[in-house]
Amino acid sequence: MSNLVEVSQYINSRTYEFIEKLKETYDIKEDELNKIIKNINMNITKKKKVIATNEIKCCAVMKTGSRKGQQCLGKVKEGSYCNRHSKLEGSSLENSQEPKLDYEYTARLNRFNRYEFGKTGLIFKSQNEIYVIGKQLDDGNIIKLSDEDKELCKKYKLKYIKDK
């Protein structure tokens, strides 16, 4: 609790210093500045959503869509889930987890401004043309794919240019 008091005192002192600096720098009267601050506080409180503390929210985690990975937060009538996710109640799906993605193998822009597959050196044609065109060396030159590189492409189901 003492940490909270210390933080609060620190914030109050810094705020006071900031207000004093505004008054001096921009020659604003204290009454006008207080009105501005009060107006800002009113706008902030209008934008906040009030959530009743006794309301129970759905504990399901969204698996797809724009809210993927976020909690559902739907209203719960009974149990732990909303109507939409009530089928999860007591099922084996409740405790199942999605397989973890291997973020080591994602396509990202490298220092040569090319899309590289993880740290493998495999280079994609472009962001829109997603197939491997070769392997990039440390100096930035791109060479043809070796048999090992082609096996890696097959392992991760990547399209690649085949030798003629």
Q: With helix as H, strand as E and coil as C, how does 9-21 read?
A: HHHHHHHHHHHHH
Separation between Cα atoms, residue 114 and residue 126, nearest integer Å: 7
Give the pLDDT of residue 99.
Answer: 45
Residue 156: CB atoms within 10 A of its CB come to 14
Separation between Cα atoms, residue 161 and residue 51, nearest integer Å: 56
Give the pLDDT of residue 145.
Answer: 92
Separation between Cα atoms, residue 95 and residue 61, nearest integer Å: 11
Please write the tens of the pLDDT for every residue from 137-158: 989 899 999 999 999 888 888 8
Q: Which two tokens stand for residue 60?
A: 């399901």
Give the pLDDT of residue 102.
Answer: 53
Give the pLDDT of residue 128.
Answer: 85
Give the pLDDT of residue 134.
Answer: 92
Q: Which residues of the chain have pLDDT under 50?
A: 1, 48-53, 92-101, 103
Give the pLDDT of residue 50.
Answer: 45
The overall pTM is greater than 0.85: no
